[in-house]
């Protein structure tokens, strides 16, 4: 059994709320036994040194009204004892003596039971391991009761920091610090830590015990881990490990409870969005009232926003949906939202503190991408009324389906940015569009495919630079004469001359049609 110190007694035997009133320099004193005042003078007899004394100021005065804590501390320090735990006020004179003699004076919380304190210290000295286990179980019970009382995640962390006396941090599953209770070197160590699993480690001169949140399943149905809890100090022991385990279990249960509430609210909101899309009630007042009850102002215009993951599994889709919900909350946006098989759908108010819907969508995309880099966001046009929500959704779906192929990723795919593609989308399966494409660009596409040429690429660059030959040649990294030769070949093969305005327009439009038609071949329909 390791030697018991005053610091150990503070952490493992004394009631919560005990404070160090004086003599902090003596917390490393070893404790041999526990002693309380006798019923008759002298108050203490047969002390051999190292005793942990527990006294109540009222009991001392009843024993001898001339006896003060200051005089008692001076006498007992000659033995010397390890520390004095006091129930009652500690006067300044006693504090001064405690500091001078390096004798810890520990003030017990009001209402503490001196006999119970004595028994707890005896248990610690007699069977250290059993007391550590018992104290950990008590900590688990306290955390559970606090959780039931509704203190929330921050309240549990405060309790854990208070009961352990350690610096601590809570991290998300990706290792991001979500809550921190630390100062000095411990704060720096916890801020820079990147937890990956349960265990003890040394980091920046600090010992840190990392506990994955459990013992409930480490992830929910969507595959999202609950994260990690870390306790930090100069040196850690078995009590710190057990405290971390109890704390992690309590935090996991709290997070599971919060997620269950959020899931229920999400289902309620999803049902609301689904009911609007299937068919809004005839009574608009009823719909507006239901929206207000859920925190939405349906009198505002809204824009459909889709968030999905290209070729993502169920876990990735769930993470993207969760990231979108978190981003909306972080930006303070009340947006009706529902989950879909491919991700999530929400309706963002298009008038929000003066910001345009596209700007808000870009802010959401940046936040979502920080957690789920592969996520894609697309928006439709503004729906002035709830009755037009389905139209905005169809547009967002088209922007998602076509925009990522035509415009690429790394941006919000906006139906409004599709321009002429919006017209071509309506015509992409019409015989007229195919006939136009075949008579204008098909021969060039065939030539490139057969000869591994770059005529279509050249034509794209030519239009992107508004027919400026120098800039087009620079963009293609070719000589100007090479560009002129390619333009001549385009004229010969297609029968269209880029110097003729009508032919130029036909080629430009055919290039757009080419990109739209490719979406059919690539399964974009």
Q: Which of 160-164, 199-203, 506-510 has the lowest mean pLDDT?
A: 506-510
Q: Of the candidates 421, 405, 404, which has an alpha carbon nearest to the alpha carbon of residue 413?
A: 404
Q: Mean per-residue pLDDT for 269-292?
A: 71
Q: What is d(CA 511, CA 490) in angstroms, rounded to the nearest whole number?
A: 13
Q: Mean per-residue pLDDT for 379-403?
A: 86
Q: Mean per-residue pLDDT for 389-397?
A: 90
Contact 259, 220 (CB under 8 A): yes
In this prediction, residue 30 carries a pLDDT of 96
Q: Mean per-residue pLDDT for 189-193?
A: 94
Q: Does 233 have pLDDT greater than 70?
A: yes
Token readout for 329 is 């909350």
In this prediction, residue 220 carries a pLDDT of 45
Highest mean pLDDT (candidates 223-232, 279-288, 384-393, 397-406): 384-393
Q: What is d(CA 292, CA 286) in angstroms, rounded to the nearest whole number?
A: 10
| Residues 6 or more apart whose Cβ sits within 8 Å of residue 137 | 246
In this prediction, residue 274 carries a pLDDT of 78
Q: What is d(CA 305, CA 325) in angstroms, rounded to the nearest whole number?
A: 12
In this prediction, residue 133 carries a pLDDT of 94
Give whole-number Cα distances, 512 to 410, 434, 437, 517, in Å: 21, 12, 10, 9
In this prediction, residue 123 carries a pLDDT of 95
3-state SS class at 173:
coil
* pTM, two decimal places: 0.55
Contact 376, 307 (CB under 8 A): yes
In this prediction, residue 225 carries a pLDDT of 62
pLDDT band at 1 (very low <50, low <70, confident <90, very high): low
In this prediction, residue 216 carries a pLDDT of 45
Q: Is 343 left (phi over 0), alpha (psi -120 to 50) or beta?
A: left
For the chain, give the number of residues. Answer: 525
Dihedral over alpha carbons 95, 71, 13, 164 (to 10 degrees) = 10
Contact 19, 108 (CB under 8 A): no
Q: Does 39 have pLDDT greater than 50?
A: yes
Q: Of the candidates 363, 369, 376, which has an alpha carbon nearest to the alpha carbon of residue 404?
A: 376
pLDDT band at 523 (very low <50, low <70, confident <90, very high): very low
pLDDT band at 160 (very low <50, low <70, confident <90, very high): very high
Q: 130-255 — its CATH code? A: 3.30.450.40
pLDDT band at 399 (very low <50, low <70, confident <90, very high): confident
Contact 56, 65 (CB under 8 A): no
3-state SS class at 296:
coil
pLDDT band at 218 (very low <50, low <70, confident <90, very high): very low
Largest CA distance in the chain: 120
H/E run at residue 334:
none
Q: Mean per-residue pLDDT for 340-349?
A: 87
Averaged pLDDT of the chain:
85
Q: Does 521 have pLDDT greater than 60?
A: no
- Radius of gyration in angstroms for the set of CA atoms belonging to the chain, rounded to a whole number: 36
pLDDT band at 83 (very low <50, low <70, confident <90, very high): very high
CA angle 385–414–379, rounded 5-degree value: 45
**What's the fold here for domain 6-126?**
3.40.1390
3-state SS class at 228:
strand
Give whole-number Cα distances, 19 to 28, 133, 162, 164, 329, in Å: 16, 23, 11, 13, 39
CA angle 441–443–445, rounded 5-degree value: 70
Token readout for 180 is 């921190």
Backbone angles phi, psi at 31, to 5 degrees: -110, 125
Neighbour tally for 79: CB within 10 Å: 15
| Residues 6 or more apart whose Cβ sits within 8 Å of residue 498 | 459, 462, 467, 487, 490, 491, 504, 507
The alpha carbon dihedral of 29, 35, 36, 41 has a sign of negative
Strands 337-340 and 302-309, bridge-based pairing: unpaired
Q: What is d(CA 102, CA 6) in angstroms, rounded to the nearest whole number?
A: 12
pLDDT band at 174 (very low <50, low <70, confident <90, very high): confident
Eight-class DSSP state of 343:
E
pLDDT band at 315 (very low <50, low <70, confident <90, very high): confident
Contact 101, 72 (CB under 8 A): no
Contact 365, 412 (CB under 8 A): yes
Backbone angles phi, psi at 207, to 5 degrees: -90, 135
Strands 33-35 and 51-56, bridge-based pairing: parallel
Q: Does 401 have pLDDT greater than 80?
A: no
| Residues 6 or more apart whose Cβ sits within 8 Å of residue 118 | 34, 36, 54
pLDDT band at 409 (very low <50, low <70, confident <90, very high): low
Token readout for 417 is 């940015």
Q: Does 201 have pLDDT greater than 60?
A: yes
Neighbour tally for 289: CB within 10 Å: 11
Residue ranges per structural domain of the chain: 6-126, 130-255, 279-418, 424-521
3-state SS class at 51:
strand
Backbone angles phi, psi at 54, to 5 degrees: -120, 120
Higher pLDDT, 66 or 263: 66
Q: Which of 343-347, 397-401, 521-525 has the lowest mean pLDDT?
A: 521-525
Give whole-number Cα distances, 42 to 36, 51, 53, 72, 272, in Å: 12, 16, 14, 11, 77
Q: Does 29 have pLDDT greater than 90?
A: yes
In this prediction, residue 371 carries a pLDDT of 81
In this prediction, residue 221 carries a pLDDT of 41
**What's the fold here for domain 424-521?**
Arc Repressor Mutant, subunit A (1.10.10)
Contact 73, 102 (CB under 8 A): no
Q: Does 420 have pLDDT greater than 70?
A: yes
In this prediction, residue 107 carries a pLDDT of 97
Neighbour tally for 184: CB within 10 Å: 9
pLDDT band at 525 (very low <50, low <70, confident <90, very high): very low
- Angle between helix 501-521 and helix 389-406 axes, rounded to 10 deg: 100
Q: Which of 168-172, 218-222, 504-508 has the lowest mean pLDDT?
A: 218-222
In this prediction, residue 355 carries a pLDDT of 52
Q: Does 210 have pLDDT greater than 90?
A: yes
> Which residues on neighbouring strands pair with residue 124, listed in sequence order?
none
Q: 279-418 — its CATH code? A: 3.30.70.270
Q: What is d(CA 176, CA 446) in angstroms, rounded to the nearest whole number?
A: 52
Contact 186, 164 (CB under 8 A): no
Q: Which of 53-67, 146-160, 405-419 has the lowest mean pLDDT?
A: 405-419
In this prediction, residue 353 carries a pLDDT of 46
pLDDT band at 415 (very low <50, low <70, confident <90, very high): confident
Contact 21, 90 (CB under 8 A): yes
């Amino acid at each position: 059994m390791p030697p018991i110190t005053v610091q150990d007694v503070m952490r493992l035997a004394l009631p919560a709320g005990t404070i160090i009133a004086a003599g902090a320099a003596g917390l490393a004193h070893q404790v041999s036994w526990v002693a309380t005042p006798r019923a008759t003078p002298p108050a203490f007899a047969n002390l051999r040194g190292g005793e942990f004394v527990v006294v109540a100021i009222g009991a001392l005065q009843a024993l001898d009204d001339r006896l003060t804590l200051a005089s008692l501390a001076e006498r007992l320090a000659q033995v010397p004892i390890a520390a004095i735990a006091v129930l009652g006020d500690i006067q300044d004179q006693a504090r001064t003596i405690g500091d001078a003699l390096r004798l810890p004076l520990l003030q017990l919380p009001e209402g503490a039971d001196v006999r119970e304190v004595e028994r707890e210290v005896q248990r610690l000295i007699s069977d250290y391991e059993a007391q550590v286990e018992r104290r950990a179980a008590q900590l688990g019970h306290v955390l559970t009761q606090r959780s039931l009382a509704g203190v929330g995640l921050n309240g549990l962390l405060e309790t854990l920091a208070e009961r352990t006396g350690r610096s601590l941090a809570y991290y998300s599953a990706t290792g991001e610090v979500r809550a921190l209770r630390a100062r000095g070197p411990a704060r720096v160590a916890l801020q820079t830590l990147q937890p990956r699993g349960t265990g003890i480690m040394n980091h920046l001169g600090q010992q840190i015990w990392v506990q994955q949140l459990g013992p409930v399943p480490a992830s929910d149905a969507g595959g999202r881990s609950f994260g990690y809890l870390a306790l930090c100090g100069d040196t850690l022991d078995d009590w710190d490990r057990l405290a971390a385990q109890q704390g992690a279990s309590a935090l996991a249960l709290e997070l599971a409870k919060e997620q269950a509430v959020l899931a229920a609210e999400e289902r309620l909101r999803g049902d609301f969005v689904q009911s609007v899309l299937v068919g809004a009630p005839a009574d608009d007042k009823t719909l507006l009232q239901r929206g207000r009850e859920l925190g939405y102002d349906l009198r505002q215009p809204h824009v459909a926003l889709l968030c999905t993951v290209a070729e993502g599994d169920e876990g990735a889709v769930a993470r993207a949906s969760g990231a979108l919900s978190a981003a909306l909350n972080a930006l303070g946006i009340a947006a009706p939202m529902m989950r879909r098989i491919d991700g999530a759908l929400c309706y963002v108010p298009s008038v929000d503190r003066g910001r345009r819907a596209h700007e808000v969508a870009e802010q959401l995309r940046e936040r979502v991408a920080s957690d789920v880099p592969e996520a894609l966001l697309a928006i439709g046009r503004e729906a002035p009324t709830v009755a037009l929500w389905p139209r905005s959704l169809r547009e967002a779906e088209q922007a998602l389906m076509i925009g990522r192929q035509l415009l690429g990723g790394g941006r919000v795919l906006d139906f409004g940015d599709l321009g002429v593609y919006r017209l071509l989308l309506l015509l992409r399966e019409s015989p007229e569009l195919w006939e136009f494409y075949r008579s204008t660009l098909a021969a060039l596409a065939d030539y490139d495919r057969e000869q591994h040429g770059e005529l279509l690429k050249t034509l794209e660059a030519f239009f992107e630079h508004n027919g400026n030959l120098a800039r087009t040649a620079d963009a293609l990294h070719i000589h100007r004469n090479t560009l002129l030769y390619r333009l001549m070949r385009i004229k010969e093969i297609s029968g269209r001359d880029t110097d003729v305005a009508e032919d130029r327009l036909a080629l430009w439009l055919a290039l757009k049609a080419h990109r739209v038609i490719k979406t059919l071949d690539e399964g974009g329909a």
